[in-house]
Every structure is written in structure tokens, then in C-alpha cells.
Homo-oligomer: A and B are copies of this chain.
């Protein structure tokens, strides 16, 4: 009998060992433990021996195969044991590792390093005779994991009720969060402890043209900070969101725990899966230094290399736009005074012009002239096409055809005029959320672009989605954005998507998806305002997955310049606007203000003209989310550097240490800094420009006024 117990003990230990598995990062600092407890998968994560993530459950709940009508019965007996979250035994495990260097088509560095150890656990449900794989990749900057659903006899199609991936933290932390939503990321970031989120959530958002809030949920990328003597910065996000719905995170504020909350479709289903398939990666980037969060390329490493053989048609683009004047209300997108038009029926040439249509031949030519004279690549023109009279708010499906210009917009003439001056026109496709209609017309619209040599399109998704009941972040729309990017690639067109899903590193795979908005951009300075700390947070959140078309460069920040008594203003100094071109990475950058405002400050405008868009190297010099960011970048194929620093609502001093420069060269620095009397409220246009010879030993003290900043252009002295 004693012998029996001994064998039993050995068996238990063996089983336990077999069910648990440890993975370490290449540098040995991170450890991830996977375990099965009563058939349920768990993982945890530690850094330097200290728990970062406590034991957290993994798994998915399913709806009955293909039959959405059973959505309300998911928890009925019929579905018990049919989910993919329990009843598992581990039937295989496989480890792998990689250490490679790859080059992005456009990026912040010449080389990105992809270095991880991998554990793939095969989990079988004997009761259903089917299996899934959970794959973990542990990098030197954190953890990524995803679900894989191999094609097999008993797992061909399923419908997701919810993905229940937990991320449980041992303690309360500071969080920079947006209210959870299925349709909009255009909210102000809230800063609070996790434990305070439920209290603050109800007042954490404002109205939006399309919004479906998720109570007590927050959006990803989510930035967290464990404060104290040994601070730890943590970023939660997702990578490679393809053919799956986007996730928010449900917050358990008492237990400092987060859980994925996918976006449903019109029927409440959260994903239609046909195997073989994989989920997006869930990413947990961790570092004691905030700078390392910004420097992390984990999200891009978790995306697939591009499949495009030829990427020569993808290029950085600096552009101006017939845009800001409509945003602030000085001009209009619409051509006429009509308020109810029918595409294909209404004769727009017979409507009464409203006299405020910006996209007219005369004005566009002036913009082209200015953009060309100042070395820009391109000009965006919004409001060029018929349909803006009633484009918004009516759930109208056939709102635009994307091919017919307004009567006062001579597309061939303006295109010829632009090309003759070296300017490309950027096409604008506002869909009004009517994605079905856009899919109908996109092939013709892209053919039109090819015919006239447009090579970039700004898409827009303002308003509720059609198919009605779908959301901006639901699987159908995720696939829609992808379809448009694919179609654009066939036409060698770059895409800048607005009001779309936030990027998840997909520009590695689809580098023509050159940028997106998908956050609260500069336009909101006119729609309700962005806080002074806004741009010190976005790089830690929205930018983690890819470039944003933030549209910086507003010099005339006070709107009472246009409209006496108007109290709206852009909460920034002019110098801070310049810094954004360095701090907020994008290969697509706009100079968003009106030419007349740049003409008054051509000395400062010079920085925008000079600044690079594609980089061989990037140094995050100093950063603290919500407080400040200082960044230096080395322009592609040159020894030119650009440095930018911004601060939040507090004035700060910072000394730029140029030790990143080549020690064997001398450089001329052109410094654009806040004027001594600059103030983002009372005197935003006060700036000071000077030149200085510097070396790698130079240490340059900078003073940033509240919501101020500086930009430095650094060129080798020949």
C-alpha cells in the first residue's frame, strides 16, 4: 500500500510538471509560467523575479456553430462544455526561438530586432475531440500570446461569444485610459489608478458622431505604471488584428484585473472563425523605463513580413490640405445650399452654391502654389466630390460615389496643374460610415486615381456603420479596412484611414497602410479641445501600433483670429507644434494650418519644411506618459538629426545630451524654442530660433513653457 502511494505521488508530480511549463526571455529577465488547473489554462509573468502578471485565465466562449439565433442561449445546457476555455489536457508543447533583424519599408529605425523565445502549447478537449494551440512569445521587452485554431475534423467553424483573456495584476497602478467603445477612440485620455476607473468612467467621454460605449471598459493600447521606488511601465495592446474583432478591456477595479472584451456584430456575435485561423496577439510590454516602452517594436515583430514584392511605390509623404479651414468652420465641404441630395439623380450644377465651398479651382490652385513653393510632396483636398450636402447623420447608404467632382472642382485641370509643379493630389474618400457603398464604388474610384496619378487616399468613417448594426471595430469592419488596403495595394495606392480601427502593427505586413487617425487628432482642438498632456500620452497608447495622421503644425492656434469672440484654441505653443513632427512618428505628416498662417512665420515653418519623415535611427531621450517626451531621430540615409521635446500643462527644463551624435563630426543645430514670454493660452506664437555649432559632447539646456516644446534640426558641418 505504501508503494501505491509512492507511485501516486510520482504520478501527481509528473502530471503537475507536464501541465506546467516555464518560458524565459532571451535576456533571462522575464519569466512566463503556463499551467493547466482543472483543465483551465493559466499564465503568469514575472520580471527580475517579481510578479508582473498574476495567474490569469485564458480561453474563449463560443456560440453554437454558425447559429447566431442561439446567442441568448449560450449558457444553456446545450452549450455546456462546448466552449474553448476548459476541459483541456495538454497533448503537446513545442519551443522555438528567434533572433533576427529586419528592415521596415518605412520606420523609426533602419533595423528592427526580433528576438524571442516561444512556447506553443497544444490543448486538447477530449470530450469534443478537438484542440487549440496557445502560443507565447517572450521578448526582452515583454510577452505576446495568441490562440491558434488549426483546421481539424471537429473544429472547422465556430462563432465567438467572447474571448476571455485575463491580465491580472497584483497591485493597483496608474493608468492612462480611454473609455471603452465599439466605435470611437476619439476620447480624451483619463489618468487615474485602476481602482478609480469605475468612479471616473461615467464622465470620461464626450459625444461622438458614432459611439457605443462599454461601461467600465477601457481601450487598448492601455498604458499602466506601477509607481514607487521600483517603477514599472506596462503597455497592454494587441498585434496583427486580422479577420477578428477588436478588443477593449473589461476592468475589474477591485482586483486590478483586465479581460478582453471583443466588439460584437449586429447580432451580438464577436467573431466568425473558419479554421485554420489565429487570434490577434495580446501584448504586454514591460520595462522599468518609460523610454523603453516607446522604443519597443514588439507589436511590429508580432506581425508578418510584407508579402508585397515591390514596395518602391510606398514613400514618405509631407502634405498640406484643403482641410483645416473646414474643420474650424471657415469654409465648407459642401458646394451648395441644398440639404437633401440624391447621388445619380441630383444635378449639382443646378444647385445654388453656398459660397463657402473650399475645394474650388481657384483656392486649390493657391494651395498647390504654396505647397509646391515650399517643397511639399502632396496636397489633400476634401470636399471635392458630390454628396457633402447631407453626408452625415441620416444612415444614408448611397452618400458618395467617390468619382464625381463638384461643378467648381476641375479634377483633370487641377491634377495637371499640381503635377506640373511637382505636387501630387491626395484623394479623399469620406464614406460616412457607409462601408457597403464604399466597397461598391472603390474599384471605380481607385481606377480614377490611377488614371490621374493619385497615389494616396485618405479614407474616413464618420458616423454609424452600414452594414447597420456593425461597429467600427467589429470583425466585418476589420475585414473591410483590410479589403480597402488590399485593393489599394493592387492599385499602388497608399491609405491613410480616419475613424478606422487603431493600428496593430499591420503596416509591417501592409506598408501601404501608411498611417491612420483612429484617435483624437488635432481636429478635436476645434471640436472640444485636447488637453495639454494629450500628445505626451498618445505615443504611449495609440502610436504603439503604428503611425497616426495627427495633423500637427497649427500656427494660428486661437480661433478668435477668424471669428471674433470664439473661445476655441489649440492648446499648444507654436514651438510645441514643431516638436510634434519628431515626437509623434509618422511617414505621412501634414502641415495642417492655412498657407496664410505659415506665411507670417516662414522662419518657424522652415522646420516643417526640413524635418524628415523616415528614419535610420531613433533615440527616446526621456519620456514620462502624461508629462513629457524628448526624442531624437536620424533622417534616412543621412547624418541629419531632428530632436523634439514637448511638455504637458507644466513648464519644464530639460537638457538635451547630444552624445548620440557621431563623435568625429561637428554639426550645426537650428533650435526652435518657446519664446521667453511664450504661453499656450496667452502668447502661443512667441518662439525663438537660433543656430549653434554642436558636437556629441554638447549638452543643451532647453526651457519648455507650459504646453510648450522645442524642435532642433541638426546637420553636419561640411
Contact = CB atoms under 8 A, between A and B. Distances in A.
Contact of A468 (B266, B340, B479): B266
A68 B436 contact: no
A156 B436 contact: no
Contact of A394 (B274, B469, B483): B274
Contacts of A469: 265-267, 467-469
A151 interface: yes
A130 interface: no
Given A265-B468, A266-B467, A393 B66 contact: yes
Contacts of A68: 395, 464, 468
A29 interface: no
Given A156-B340, A267-B266, A340-B156, A274 B396 contact: yes
Contacts of A159: 395
Contacts of A156: 339-340, 390, 394
Count this chain's copies in the assembly. 2
Given A272-B395, A467-B468, A469-B266, A340 B436 contact: no
A476 interface: yes
Given A156-B339, A340-B275, A436-B439, A66 B394 contact: yes
Contacts of A440: 439, 483
A157 interface: yes
A156 B464 CA distance: 19
Contact of A436 (B151, B269, B274, B467): B467
Contacts of A479: 397
Contact of A157 (B269, B394, B464, B470): B394
Contacts of A157: 340, 390, 394-396
A243 to B, nearest CB: 10
A582 to B, nearest CB: 41
Contacts of A231: none
A342 interface: yes
A116 to B, nearest CB: 27
A443 interface: yes
A267 B395 CA distance: 12
Given A156-B340, A339-B156, A396 B272 contact: yes
A476 to B, nearest CB: 7
Contacts of A397: 272, 476, 479
A472 to B, nearest CB: 15
Interface in A372-429: 390, 393-397
A371 B265 CA distance: 47
B267 A468 contact: yes
Interface in A261-279: 265-267, 269, 272, 274-275
A408 B267 CA distance: 39
Interface in A453-484: 464, 467-470, 476, 479, 483
Contacts of A65: 394
A346 to B, nearest CB: 11
A393 B158 CA distance: 11
Contact of A151 (B265, B340, B470, B476): B340
B66 A468 contact: no
Interface in A240-291: 265-267, 269, 272, 274-275
Contacts of A436: 436, 439, 467
A339 B65 CA distance: 15
A14 B274 CA distance: 70
A267 B467 CA distance: 10
Contacts of A269: 468
A334 to B, nearest CB: 14
A443 B396 CA distance: 23
A516 B386 CA distance: 36
A440 B394 CA distance: 24
A468 B245 CA distance: 14
A594 B443 CA distance: 42
Interface in A337-366: 339-340, 342
A483 B441 CA distance: 13
Contact of A274 (B265, B275, B340, B483): B340
A467 B396 CA distance: 16
A443 B272 CA distance: 26
Interface string A319-339: 000000000000000000001
Interface in A469-505: 469-470, 476, 479, 483
Nearest to A469: B266
A483 B397 CA distance: 13
Contacts of A339: 156
Interface in A51-108: 65-66, 68
Contacts of A395: 66, 68, 157, 159, 272
A439 B443 CA distance: 12
A481 to B, nearest CB: 15
Nearest to A340: B156
A304 to B, nearest CB: 15
Contacts of A467: 266, 436, 467-470, 476
A87 to B, nearest CB: 23
A108 B396 CA distance: 39
Nearest to A436: B436
A440 B437 CA distance: 11
5 contacts: A65-B394, A266-B266, A272-B396, A436-B467, A439-B439
Given A66-B393, A156-B340, 15 more contacts: A65-B394, A156-B339, A265-B468, A266-B266, A266-B467, A267-B469, A269-B468, A272-B395, A272-B396, A274-B342, A274-B394, A439-B440, A443-B443, A467-B467, A468-B476
Across chains A and B, which 8 residue pairs bring their CB atoms closest together, nearest first?
A467-B467, A266-B266, A266-B469, A157-B394, A156-B340, A66-B394, A267-B469, A469-B469
